[in-house]
Structure 1
Amino acid sequence: MNDFQPYSYTDSVTADRPWLASLVGVQDTNTITLDLTKFVQGTHYVVPTNPALQNRRVMKSGIPLGVVTASGLYAPYSGPRSEVQTVTVTGAPTGGTYTLTFSGQTTAAIPYNATATQVKTALEALSNINVGDVAVSGGPHPATAIVVTFGGQYLSDDVAQMTATGSFTGGSSPAIAVATTTAGGGASASDGTEVLAGFLVSEISFNPTSTKAAGALLWHGEVFAGQCPVPFDPTDVASTAPGVNIHYR
């Protein structure tokens, strides 16, 4: 059964919405329907850690959205394509660290069992990666790969693949590797979602078997682009959707 219910938004609290820079326009939201088949776990939504809620999925707030022309449903904004690289630890190490090198800059030591947050912090400490230039999901290592999505100044760039050096203990021939799963480039779609329509105002939960869910669209206001869960460049957005009344800092 689909989660398809009326959705109203009256809350003006900015908790859990660090991307929201101004309350101006927040009450002028539109009720929309999301095409859940277009969203990706880890990037757009998560599985709750509470075992009692793991039959639900939670869509992140602040996701940039576009409209699929054929259906009129909302899906992730697919303007200039972000580079996606995956960092994988194999061999089940029980200790040690690794480093990542990006365009000549090397991170401090990252624990063998690092979380996505730890990897993001290490990368954003580099002189050539600003806060908001990467979104990091997945993990923790070593059991689960970590996914690094480039945005900000690197949005639509086919950036150099990171390299990794590991110094692990335990396990069975532990190693670390980086792979490019999506190369950066121009708009990745021509179905209407290449034009920004707005942002998902607040988190919503849905059943994993659902194909649609209701939400609220922020179409007027001011956001911090670097704080959104999916990186994008405000300059590129302005050039592709000049009629959207959204301001950036």
Structure 2
Amino acid sequence: MNDFQPMTVLNETATADRPWLASLVGIHDANTITLDLTKFVAGVHYESGNLLQPRNVLKSGIPLGLNDTTGLYEPYAGPTSEAQTVTVTGSPTGGTYTLTFSGQTTAGIPYNATPAQVRAALEALSNVNPGDVVVSGGPHPGTPVIVTFAGQYLGDDVTQMTASATNLTGGASPAVTVTTSTAGGAAGASNGTQKLAGFLATESLFAPGSTKTSGALLWYGEVFAAKCPIPFDPANVTATRPGVSIHYR
């Protein structure tokens, strides 16, 4: 099912729902495009509808790429962010372990740490700012935690962390290992969406179950990259579609 709504960009004088838009220059030249809704994720790219507003709402400011095979626009698939898996083995019953990242070592992390505790330990390092890591999985020791690098490390090939299990107790030879589950820095796709095509200029509404809808593409203008609804680092953009001219603040 497709849901195409009329898209007209008129004389824009405000950026009320577009804090990411640094300049109105170029907004008059936004192109009407077709979006492949099957590639967008609820809660990430769009807000689901409700009884008062039954249509889903795609967020403005989403970086977009053009799929060369389908001719449809999808979320920009720039360089991937690194993900590292921390696994506690040997069934410890007490104690702590540490992680070392680029020469900085955390305080003791509990043997049964939750993702939030691992994140807090990493964010306490001098080279990790709040928002630089997203931690999922866990809790230890039964389930590994996955540390995905974001913020200043978004899309980067970062140094693999090391771990020390010296202070773990109980169990049978407790240990901690770190493996790189997703290497950072490589292009996230090879179908054309790895080239930045621009940003979704305005919110787009579509009915649940729709597979396509129309949108407006901002391909010329100025953007506050840090305010985009999807984590985006201009320094990682290695390729753009022809004609794209976006400047960042």
TM over 0.5: yes
**Structure ID, larger Rg:** 2
Distance 1:36 1:16, change over 3 A: same
Equivalence for 2:40: 39
Aligned residue for 1:93? none
- 2:64 paired residue number: 65
Q: Could you report, residue by residue, the CA deviation over 1:60-104 in whole angstroms, capped at 9, with x for unpaired residues?
A: 111111111012110011121124689xxxxxxxxxxxxxx8945
Mark the CA change 1:123 to 1:8 in structure 2 (over 3 Å): closer, same or farther: farther
Cα distance in structure 2, aligned partners of 1:102 and 1:200:
39
Please say if 1:228 is aligned against 2:222. no
Aligned sequence identity (%): 60
Aligned equivalents of 2:181 and 2:52: distance in 1?
Answer: 30
For structure 2, list consecutive stretches of 5 or more residues without a partner in the other structure: 86-98, 108-113, 137-146, 164-178
Tell me which amino acid in the other structure corresponds to 2:56.
Answer: R
Q: Is the 1:43–1:230 contact (alpha carbons within 8 Å) kept by the matching residues of 2?
A: yes
Deviation at 1:156, TM superposition (A): 3.2
Match of 2:195 in 1: 195
Aligned residue for 2:28, secondary structure, equals coil
Give the direction of change, closer, same or farther, for the CA distance of 1:213–1:129 in structure 2 (3 Å limit): farther
Deviations 1:104-132 (A, max 9, x none): 5879xxxx9x9xxxxx9x99897534587
Cα drift, residue 199 of structure 1: 0.2
Residue 190 of structure 1 deviates from its aligned partner by 0.7
Question: Hey, what does 1:14 align to over in structure 2?
Answer: 15
Inter-partner Cα distance in structure 2 for 1:127 and 1:198: 34
Distance 1:248 1:28 in 2: 18
Cα distance in 2 between the residues matched to 1:35 and 1:102? 41
Q: Counterparts of 1:83 and 1:131 in 2: how far apart (Å)?
A: 17
User: 2:217 and 2:9 mapped to 1: Cα distance?
Assistant: 9
> C-alpha displacement at 1:13, in angstroms?
1.5
Residues 61 and 129 (structure 1), Cα distance of their counterparts in 2 relative to 1, 3 Å cut: farther
Change (3 A) 1:60 1:123: farther
Counterpart in the other structure of 1:56: 55
Q: Do the aligned residues in 2 keep the contact of 1:83 with 1:159 (CA within 8 Å)?
A: no
Paired residue total: 215
**1:77 partner letter:** Y
**TM, length-normalised to structure 1:** 0.65
SS in 2 for 1:14: coil
Aligned letter for 1:65? L
Separation (CA, whole Å) in 1 of partners of 2:215 and 2:21: 16
Please tell me the root mean square deviation across aligned C-alpha atoms, in Å.
Answer: 4.5
Amino acid in structure 1 at the alignment position of 2:226: G
